[in-house]
């Protein structure tokens, strides 16, 4: 090896180490800007690229979901995610953490997502039902229990949990939880990417709720709570 090359090696190695550690590369998140918490529907799962064929969700016509109340019951309302850098080693610990703040109104975010359930053929009304005894309708008080997104390897992941308390005529309210996981490739740690993965999780949770509302409209009982696998 020539002396010149030998002299450059440590410098090049240090530069590459610094390059790898540069926050600008690994952390493009704009932490001073909270996520807008605006719901934008993604294409239906069956219409997305990389998707396996899946039957589209369709609710038979005339089914109405009344939403008299939507609450935000998350334990931590200020944040909706974190970007954590961990090295892929056995003794990995968080080397760097950035938290993602929520802006906007998470209740309105939830309401918008529920309103988008109209694309499945469901009528959604943000109000108390005019009559509780009518057929082909369901009434649910919905709570946003969890909305969190995080970086995982080269992906972003989200977990959204909605809790619906269904009012049934003549019986006690029946409570069900709906979990949605969103995953997507993480290209730039961008705020928009975090919002997008949260929307995917929310959409999945709403789909679960719609399935149960459709059952109620058809006069079927709600399925039992999911057993542990």
Partner 1 sequence: MLRFWLALAALSLLGACAPFHRPLAAADRNKVGEVDLRVVVAQESFMFSAQAPGVSAATGGGLIGALIDSSVQQSRQKDMSAEVQAIVGPLLDYDYRAEAARALEAQLGEPSTFPLKIRSAQLLPAMPAKAEHEARIAATKNGPSYMVLLLQYALEPGLGAFTTRTSALLWQDGRSEPTYRAAAIFQTPVGGVARATVLRRLTADDGQVLRGMMRESMTQTLHAVALDLAGARSGPVKTARFNVNGSWVTLAGQSFDERPGHVLFRDQDGALYSVRSAAP
| Residue 117 C-beta: closest distance to partner 1, Å | 16
109 sits near partner 1 (criterion: CB under 8 A):
no
Mask: binding to partner 1, 13-32, rule CB under 8 A, as x and -? ---xx-xxx---xx----xx
Instruction: Specify the DSSP element, H or E, that contains 61.
Output: none
3-state secondary structure of 168: coil
In Å, how far are 6, 144, 164 from 177, measured between CA atoms? 62, 10, 6
- Residue 1 near partner 1 by CB under 8 A: no
Q: Quick one: which of 123, 167, 184, 222 contacts partner 1 (CB under 8 A)?
A: 184
Number of residues that bind partner 1 (CB under 8 A): 67
Structure tokens given for 109: 């975010």
CB of 16 to partner 1, least distance (A): 5
Report the distance separating Cα 227 and Cα 224, nearest Å: 8
Q: Binding partner 1 by CB under 8 A: which of 115, 120, 139, 182?
A: 182
SS3 26: helix
- Residues 52-81 interacting with partner 1 (rule: CB under 8 A): 52, 54, 74-76, 78-79
Q: Is 152 in the site for partner 1 (CB under 8 A)?
A: yes
User: Minimum distance from CB of 185 to partner 1 (Å)?
Assistant: 5
Which of 28, 112, 179, 211 lies at the binding interface for partner 1 (CB under 8 A)? 179
E-assigned strand segments in 20-136:
64-72, 79-85, 96-101, 123-125
The residues with which 182 forms a beta bridge, in sequence order, are 158
Which of 3, 10, 24, 49 binds partner 1 (CB under 8 A)? It is 49
Which one of residues 200, 206, 209, 214 is an interface residue with partner 1 (CB under 8 A)? 200
What is the distance between the alpha carbons of residues 192 and 30, in angstroms, rounded to a whole number?
10
Shorter beta-carbon distance to partner 1: residue 64 or 177? 177
Radius of gyration of the chain (CA): 23
Longest dimension (CA), the chain: 89
What number of other Cβ atoms are within 10 A of residue 38's Cβ? 13
Q: β-strand 96-101 against 79-85: which pairing, if any?
A: antiparallel
- Closest approach, Cβ 17 to partner 1, in A, equals 5
**Could you tell me if 55 and 120 are in contact, meaning their C-beta atoms sit under 8 angstroms apart?**
no
Interface with partner 1 (CB under 8 A): 16-17, 19-21, 25-26, 31-32, 45, 48-52, 54, 74-76, 78-79, 82, 84, 86-99, 101, 145-146, 148, 150, 152-155, 157, 159, 161, 177-185, 187, 200, 204-205, 208, 226-229
């Amino acid at each position: 090896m020539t002396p010149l090359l030998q002299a450059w090696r440590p410098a090049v190695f240090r530069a590459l180490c610094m390059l790898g550690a540069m926050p600008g590369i690994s952390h493009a998140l704009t932490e001073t800007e909270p996520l807008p918490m605006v719901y934008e529907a993604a294409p239906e799962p069956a219409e997305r690229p990389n998707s396996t064929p899946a039957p589209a969700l369709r609710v038979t016509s005339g089914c109405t979901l009344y939403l008299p109340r939507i609450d935000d019951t998350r334990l931590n309302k200020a944040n909706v995610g974190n970007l954590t850098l961990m090295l892929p080693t056995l003794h990995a610990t968080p080397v760097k953490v950035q938290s993602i703040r929520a802006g906007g109104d998470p209740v309105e975010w939830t309401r918008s997502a529920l309103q988008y359930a109209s694309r499945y053929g469901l009528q959604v009304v943000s109000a108390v039902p005019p009559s509780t005894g009518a057929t082909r309708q369901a009434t649910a008080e919905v709570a946003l229990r969890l909305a969190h997104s995080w970086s995982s390897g080269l992906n972003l992941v989200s977990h959204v949990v909605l809790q619906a308390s269904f009012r049934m005529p003549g019986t006690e309210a029946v409570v069900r939880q709906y979990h949605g996981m969103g995953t997507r490739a993480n290209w730039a740690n961008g705020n928009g990417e975090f919002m997008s993965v949260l929307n995917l999780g929310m959409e999945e949770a709403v789909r679960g709720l719609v399935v149960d509302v459709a059952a109620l409209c058809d006069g079927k009982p709600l399925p039992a709570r999911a057993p542990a696998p």
